[in-house]
């Protein structure tokens, strides 16, 4: 039987809420066994950009990462947020190690084609881009990798990569080595039928229903990449993925019944 590996993503609204984040980290360290944490931090990047009067260009709700924005991303994601998460986890005795994809060449990406839309220094990655050997070594050394949403192209260029995508790619790469349990944590109770109504949470949904919801545009803007990545995980043979409120991470792991939304393959 393969060893369990928890792969947990925390959303930007969790990072931006000091109390929620503190409680999440204090819960996270209690999760026994091997684990990986992934984070972005777009809202803090927006705040720094505003303070520096560096305009942020968004297309269809997605950031255009020009050279200045990439510099800010390296500061905010890989520096401020990542190192604060790592030092906070160390306080709890969790031996975290912060990583971009460039560190140890652990996750490469390919700069996205500038057609039809030029998103700038944005990278897309797949399973083949994961340095599985190093990631396994770190996990077997009882380190907890903390990935921020930066990768590199191997040619000296850092790239901004969606943290939900990094989560799904790492999970797919590790599924042959571990019994992976993928959990997306954010500031809502789960996938909502009506995004304005916290009581409209979907408890369970299978792969086909997810694809239908995506096709029928029943998923709202900000949730689309997350749900697409969850669908990709199920398509790739991960049996279940969960989407839960960050405050419910321990409850979700200890007893997943009626916590968040359970996405399942069949």
Residue 99 or 234 with smaller CB distance to a copy of itself: 99
Q: Does 55 contact a copy of itself by CB under 8 A? A: no
If binding is defined by CB under 8 A, does position 90 make contact with a copy of itself? yes
CB 61 within 8 A of CB 221: yes
**56 sits near a copy of itself (criterion: CB under 8 A):** no
Say if CB 39 and CB 15 are below 8 A apart: yes
Decide whether 143 or 251 has the Cβ nearer to a copy of itself.
143
**Of 100 and 189, which CB lies nearer to a copy of itself in the complex structure?**
100
**Exposure letters 42-60 (e unless 16+ CB within 10 A, then b):** bebbbeebeeeeeebeeee
Q: Assess 49 for contact with a copy of itself (CB under 8 A).
A: no
Closest CA to 209 of 138, 170, 262, 157: 262
Candidates 6-14, 67-75, 241-249, 250-258; binding stretch for a copy of itself (CB under 8 A): 67-75
Could you say whether residue 240 binds a copy of itself (CB under 8 A)?
no
Closer of 78 and 252 to a copy of itself (Cβ): 78
Residues near a copy of itself (CB under 8 A) are 48, 51-52, 71, 74-80, 82-84, 86-88, 90-91, 95-100, 102-105, 134, 137, 141, 143, 150, 152, 154-158
């Amino acid at each position: 039987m393969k060893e369990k590996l928890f792969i947990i993503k925390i959303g930007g609204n969790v990072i931006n809420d000091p109390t929620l984040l503190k409680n999440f980290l204090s819960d996270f360290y209690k999760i026994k066994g091997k684990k990986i944490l992934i984070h972005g931090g777009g809202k803090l990047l927006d705040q720094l950009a505003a303070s520096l009067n560096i305009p942020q260009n968004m297309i269809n709700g997605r950031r255009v990462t020009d050279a200045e924005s990439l510099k800010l991303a390296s500061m905010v994601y890989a520096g401020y947020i990542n190192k604060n998460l790592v030092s906070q986890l160390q306080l709890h005795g969790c031996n975290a190690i912060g990583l971009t994809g460039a560190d140890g060449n652990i996750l490469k990406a390919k700069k996205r084609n500038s057609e039809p839309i030029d998103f700038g220094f944005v990278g897309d990655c797949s399973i083949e881009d994961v340095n599985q050997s190093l990631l396994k070594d770190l996990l077997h050394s009882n380190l907890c990798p903390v990935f921020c949403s930066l990768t590199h192209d191997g040619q000296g260029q850092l790239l901004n990569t969606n943290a939900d995508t990094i989560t799904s790619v790492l999970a797919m790469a590790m599924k042959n080595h571990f019994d992976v349990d993928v959990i997306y944590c954010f500031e809502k109770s789960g996938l909502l039928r009506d995004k304005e109504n916290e009581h409209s949470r979907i408890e369970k949904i299978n792969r086909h229903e997810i694809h239908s919801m995506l096709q029928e545009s029943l998923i709202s803007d900000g949730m689309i990449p997350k749900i697409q990545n969850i669908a990709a995980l199920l398509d790739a043979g991960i049996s279940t993925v969960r989407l839960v409120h960050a405050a419910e991470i321990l409850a979700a792991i200890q007893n997943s019944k009626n916590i968040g939304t359970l996405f399942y393959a069949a």
